[in-house]
Amino acid sequence: TMMNQLLGMHQVEKEISQYFGIKRCIVVAGNSDNQDKVLYEFGDILTDSLDLLLPEGRNIIAVMGGTTMAMTAEYMGSLESEKRHNLFVPARGGIGEAMTVQANSVSAVMASKTGGHHRALYVPEQLSLETYNSLLQEPSIQEVLTLIEQSNCVVHSIGRALHMAARRKMSDDEMVMLKQNNAVAESFGYFFDEEGEVVYKIPRIGLQLKDVQKIPNVVAIAGGKSKAKAIRAYMKNAPKQTWLITDEAAANEILKGV
Ligand code: G3H
Protein backbone atom coordinates (compact mmCIF):
# COMPACT_ATOMS: atom_id res chain seq x y z
CA THR A 1 0.00 0.00 0.00
CA MET A 2 0.93 3.66 -0.29
CA MET A 3 1.19 3.92 3.49
CA ASN A 4 3.65 1.04 3.65
CA GLN A 5 5.72 2.60 0.93
CA LEU A 6 5.83 5.84 2.85
CA LEU A 7 6.84 4.08 6.04
CA GLY A 8 9.45 2.08 4.11
CA MET A 9 10.92 5.26 2.70
CA HIS A 10 10.90 6.82 6.13
CA GLN A 11 12.93 3.90 7.45
CA VAL A 12 15.48 4.31 4.65
CA GLU A 13 15.77 8.03 5.43
CA LYS A 14 16.43 7.26 9.06
CA GLU A 15 19.04 4.61 8.26
CA ILE A 16 20.89 6.95 5.93
CA SER A 17 20.95 9.91 8.30
CA GLN A 18 22.16 7.64 11.10
CA TYR A 19 24.80 5.98 8.91
CA PHE A 20 26.33 9.33 7.94
CA GLY A 21 25.61 10.98 11.28
CA ILE A 22 23.83 13.87 9.59
CA LYS A 23 20.79 15.83 10.68
CA ARG A 24 18.30 14.63 8.10
CA CYS A 25 17.85 12.68 4.91
CA ILE A 26 14.88 12.98 2.55
CA VAL A 27 14.40 10.33 -0.13
CA VAL A 28 12.32 10.89 -3.28
CA ALA A 29 10.87 7.84 -5.07
CA GLY A 30 12.57 6.87 -8.33
CA ASN A 31 15.96 7.27 -10.01
CA SER A 32 17.09 10.69 -11.22
CA ASP A 33 19.54 9.03 -13.64
CA ASN A 34 16.59 8.53 -16.01
CA GLN A 35 13.53 10.18 -14.44
CA ASP A 36 13.17 13.95 -14.64
CA LYS A 37 10.18 13.86 -12.29
CA VAL A 38 12.62 13.17 -9.46
CA LEU A 39 14.36 16.47 -10.19
CA TYR A 40 11.06 18.34 -10.16
CA GLU A 41 10.42 16.89 -6.75
CA PHE A 42 13.88 17.93 -5.57
CA GLY A 43 12.73 21.50 -6.28
CA ASP A 44 9.63 21.09 -4.11
CA ILE A 45 11.54 19.43 -1.31
CA LEU A 46 14.35 21.96 -1.34
CA THR A 47 11.74 24.73 -1.08
CA ASP A 48 10.02 23.00 1.86
CA SER A 49 13.36 22.28 3.55
CA LEU A 50 14.57 25.87 3.26
CA ASP A 51 11.18 27.06 4.47
CA LEU A 52 11.75 25.05 7.66
CA LEU A 53 15.45 25.87 8.02
CA LEU A 54 15.70 29.57 7.20
CA PRO A 55 14.98 31.92 10.09
CA GLU A 56 13.13 35.23 9.89
CA GLY A 57 15.18 38.26 8.90
CA ARG A 58 17.79 38.37 6.19
CA ASN A 59 19.28 35.14 4.91
CA ILE A 60 22.23 34.75 2.58
CA ILE A 61 22.14 31.46 0.69
CA ALA A 62 25.31 30.41 -1.12
CA VAL A 63 24.68 27.97 -3.95
CA MET A 64 26.89 25.78 -6.10
CA GLY A 65 26.33 24.84 -9.75
CA GLY A 66 25.81 21.65 -11.77
CA THR A 67 22.89 20.11 -13.64
CA THR A 68 21.13 18.90 -10.47
CA MET A 69 21.25 22.37 -8.93
CA ALA A 70 20.13 24.00 -12.19
CA MET A 71 17.12 21.66 -12.61
CA THR A 72 16.19 21.83 -8.93
CA ALA A 73 16.22 25.64 -9.08
CA GLU A 74 13.69 25.65 -11.92
CA TYR A 75 11.13 23.84 -9.76
CA MET A 76 11.40 25.90 -6.59
CA GLY A 77 8.55 27.97 -5.16
CA SER A 78 8.17 31.06 -3.01
CA LEU A 79 10.28 31.43 0.14
CA GLU A 80 9.87 35.14 0.69
CA SER A 81 7.61 36.71 3.30
CA GLU A 82 7.17 40.01 5.01
CA LYS A 83 9.51 38.82 7.72
CA ARG A 84 11.99 36.80 5.71
CA HIS A 85 14.22 38.04 2.91
CA ASN A 86 16.62 35.87 1.02
CA LEU A 87 19.68 36.78 -0.98
CA PHE A 88 21.21 34.10 -3.23
CA VAL A 89 24.91 34.24 -4.08
CA PRO A 90 27.23 31.82 -5.88
CA ALA A 91 29.32 29.93 -3.33
CA ARG A 92 32.53 29.92 -5.39
CA GLY A 93 34.02 31.49 -8.49
CA GLY A 94 33.88 29.73 -11.86
CA ILE A 95 35.11 26.16 -11.77
CA GLY A 96 34.78 25.38 -15.46
CA GLU A 97 31.09 24.66 -15.97
CA ALA A 98 28.87 25.61 -18.90
CA MET A 99 27.10 28.94 -18.41
CA THR A 100 23.60 27.60 -17.71
CA VAL A 101 24.76 25.37 -14.86
CA GLN A 102 27.20 27.83 -13.27
CA ALA A 103 26.56 28.87 -9.70
CA ASN A 104 25.84 32.43 -10.90
CA SER A 105 22.99 31.18 -13.09
CA VAL A 106 21.63 28.83 -10.42
CA SER A 107 21.52 31.62 -7.83
CA ALA A 108 19.73 33.92 -10.28
CA VAL A 109 17.08 31.28 -11.05
CA MET A 110 16.63 30.42 -7.36
CA ALA A 111 16.13 34.09 -6.53
CA SER A 112 13.55 34.53 -9.26
CA LYS A 113 11.61 31.35 -8.37
CA THR A 114 11.58 32.02 -4.63
CA GLY A 115 10.94 35.77 -4.85
CA GLY A 116 14.34 36.69 -3.41
CA HIS A 117 17.35 38.61 -4.67
CA HIS A 118 20.71 37.57 -6.02
CA ARG A 119 24.20 38.90 -6.60
CA ALA A 120 26.60 37.53 -9.20
CA LEU A 121 30.31 37.00 -8.82
CA TYR A 122 32.00 37.92 -12.09
CA VAL A 123 35.25 36.04 -12.26
CA PRO A 124 36.00 34.79 -15.77
CA GLU A 125 37.58 31.38 -16.30
CA GLN A 126 41.14 30.77 -17.43
CA LEU A 127 42.76 33.93 -16.12
CA SER A 128 46.46 34.34 -15.50
CA LEU A 129 47.27 34.41 -11.80
CA GLU A 130 48.24 38.06 -12.13
CA THR A 131 44.93 39.13 -13.66
CA TYR A 132 43.04 36.93 -11.21
CA ASN A 133 44.74 38.55 -8.23
CA SER A 134 44.19 42.07 -9.45
CA LEU A 135 40.54 41.29 -10.22
CA LEU A 136 40.12 40.22 -6.62
CA GLN A 137 40.98 43.76 -5.57
CA GLU A 138 37.92 45.11 -7.40
CA PRO A 139 35.42 46.60 -4.92
CA SER A 140 32.42 44.99 -6.66
CA ILE A 141 34.03 41.57 -6.30
CA GLN A 142 35.12 42.23 -2.72
CA GLU A 143 31.52 43.16 -1.92
CA VAL A 144 30.12 39.85 -3.17
CA LEU A 145 32.92 37.90 -1.45
CA THR A 146 31.94 39.57 1.81
CA LEU A 147 28.31 38.50 1.29
CA ILE A 148 29.46 34.92 0.61
CA GLU A 149 31.44 34.99 3.87
CA GLN A 150 28.26 36.04 5.70
CA SER A 151 26.08 33.27 4.27
CA ASN A 152 23.99 31.31 6.79
CA CYS A 153 22.94 28.61 4.34
CA VAL A 154 24.61 26.65 1.57
CA VAL A 155 23.01 24.41 -1.06
CA HIS A 156 25.19 22.13 -3.18
CA SER A 157 25.29 18.92 -5.17
CA ILE A 158 27.75 16.03 -5.28
CA GLY A 159 29.27 14.61 -8.46
CA ARG A 160 31.42 11.68 -9.60
CA ALA A 161 35.08 12.70 -9.55
CA LEU A 162 36.34 11.68 -12.98
CA HIS A 163 33.09 12.60 -14.68
CA MET A 164 33.27 16.10 -13.20
CA ALA A 165 36.98 16.47 -14.00
CA ALA A 166 36.34 15.55 -17.64
CA ARG A 167 33.30 17.82 -17.90
CA ARG A 168 35.32 20.72 -16.53
CA LYS A 169 38.14 19.96 -18.95
CA MET A 170 40.79 19.46 -16.32
CA SER A 171 44.27 18.66 -17.65
CA ASP A 172 45.62 15.16 -18.37
CA ASP A 173 48.03 15.53 -15.45
CA GLU A 174 45.18 16.34 -13.12
CA MET A 175 43.17 13.35 -14.40
CA VAL A 176 46.11 11.01 -13.78
CA MET A 177 46.60 12.45 -10.31
CA LEU A 178 42.89 12.03 -9.47
CA LYS A 179 43.01 8.39 -10.59
CA GLN A 180 46.20 7.71 -8.63
CA ASN A 181 44.56 9.15 -5.54
CA ASN A 182 41.37 7.10 -6.06
CA ALA A 183 39.15 10.17 -6.25
CA VAL A 184 35.49 9.11 -6.44
CA ALA A 185 33.51 12.20 -5.44
CA GLU A 186 33.51 15.92 -6.13
CA SER A 187 31.76 18.79 -4.39
CA PHE A 188 32.58 22.52 -4.02
CA GLY A 189 35.48 21.99 -6.44
CA TYR A 190 37.10 19.54 -3.98
CA PHE A 191 37.80 15.90 -4.83
CA PHE A 192 37.36 13.08 -2.29
CA ASP A 193 38.42 9.45 -2.04
CA GLU A 194 36.12 6.66 -0.83
CA GLU A 195 36.82 7.56 2.79
CA GLY A 196 35.71 11.11 2.19
CA GLU A 197 39.25 12.52 2.47
CA VAL A 198 40.13 15.48 0.25
CA VAL A 199 42.67 14.43 -2.38
CA TYR A 200 42.60 17.57 -4.55
CA LYS A 201 41.14 21.04 -4.64
CA ILE A 202 40.55 23.45 -7.54
CA PRO A 203 41.90 26.74 -6.20
CA ARG A 204 39.09 29.29 -6.42
CA ILE A 205 37.80 32.22 -4.43
CA GLY A 206 34.64 32.03 -2.37
CA LEU A 207 33.50 29.42 0.11
CA GLN A 208 36.10 26.87 1.19
CA LEU A 209 35.28 23.46 2.62
CA LYS A 210 36.33 24.49 6.15
CA ASP A 211 33.87 27.43 5.94
CA VAL A 212 30.99 25.08 5.13
CA GLN A 213 31.56 23.32 8.48
CA LYS A 214 30.56 26.53 10.26
CA ILE A 215 27.45 27.36 8.23
CA PRO A 216 24.33 26.51 10.26
CA ASN A 217 22.19 25.32 7.34
CA VAL A 218 23.65 22.97 4.75
CA VAL A 219 21.61 21.14 2.13
CA ALA A 220 23.15 18.59 -0.25
CA ILE A 221 21.08 17.44 -3.25
CA ALA A 222 22.22 14.45 -5.28
CA GLY A 223 20.48 11.37 -6.61
CA GLY A 224 20.70 8.59 -9.17
CA LYS A 225 22.07 5.07 -8.82
CA SER A 226 25.20 6.15 -10.72
CA LYS A 227 26.06 8.67 -7.99
CA ALA A 228 25.66 6.34 -4.99
CA LYS A 229 29.39 5.79 -4.54
CA ALA A 230 30.16 9.50 -4.83
CA ILE A 231 27.41 10.45 -2.40
CA ARG A 232 28.60 7.86 0.13
CA ALA A 233 32.20 9.07 -0.11
CA TYR A 234 31.40 12.77 0.28
CA MET A 235 28.82 12.24 3.03
CA LYS A 236 31.26 10.32 5.24
CA ASN A 237 32.89 13.57 6.32
CA ALA A 238 30.06 15.96 5.53
CA PRO A 239 29.21 18.61 8.14
CA LYS A 240 26.89 17.10 10.76
CA GLN A 241 24.22 19.75 10.17
CA THR A 242 23.77 18.60 6.56
CA TRP A 243 20.36 17.69 5.18
CA LEU A 244 20.70 15.26 2.29
CA ILE A 245 18.01 15.25 -0.39
CA THR A 246 18.42 12.16 -2.55
CA ASP A 247 16.40 9.52 -4.40
CA GLU A 248 15.39 5.93 -3.85
CA ALA A 249 17.87 4.50 -6.37
CA ALA A 250 20.87 6.18 -4.73
CA ALA A 251 19.61 5.48 -1.22
CA ASN A 252 19.14 1.73 -1.81
CA GLU A 253 22.57 1.47 -3.40
CA ILE A 254 24.21 3.35 -0.51
CA LEU A 255 22.60 1.06 2.07
CA LYS A 256 23.66 -2.08 0.17
CA GLY A 257 27.22 -1.46 1.22
CA VAL A 258 26.34 -1.02 4.91
O1 G3H B 1 29.78 19.18 -7.57
C2 G3H B 1 28.98 18.43 -8.06
C3 G3H B 1 28.46 18.72 -9.35
O4 G3H B 1 28.06 20.04 -9.43
C5 G3H B 1 27.34 17.80 -9.71
O6 G3H B 1 26.98 18.06 -11.02
O7 G3H B 1 24.54 17.85 -10.80
O8 G3H B 1 25.65 17.95 -13.01
O9 G3H B 1 25.86 15.93 -11.57
P10 G3H B 1 25.69 17.40 -11.63
Q: How far is the CA of 162 from the centre of ligand 1 (A)?
A: 12
pTM of the model: 0.95
- Answer whether residue 138 shows pLDDT above 70: yes
- 65: Cβ below 6 Å to ligand 1? yes
Atom of ligand 1 nearest to the CA of 68: 7
Contacts of 101 (CB under 8 A, 6+ apart): 65, 66, 67, 69, 70
Instruction: Name the residue at shortest CA distance from atom 5 of ligand 1.
Output: 159
- 186: Cβ below 6 Å to ligand 1? yes
Task: Report the C-alpha gap between 187 and 91 in whole angstroms.
Answer: 11
* Structure-model confidence comparison of residues 6 and 207, the more confident one: 207
Residue 258's pLDDT is: 77
| Coil, strand or helix at 227 | helix
Q: How far is the CA of 102 from the centre of ligand 1 (A)?
A: 10
- 223: Cβ below 6 Å to ligand 1? no
Q: Mean pLDDT score of the chain, rounded to an integer?
A: 93
Reported ipTM exceeds the 0.90 cut: yes
On the 0-12 / 13-18 / 19+ scale of CB atoms within 10 A, 103 is buried
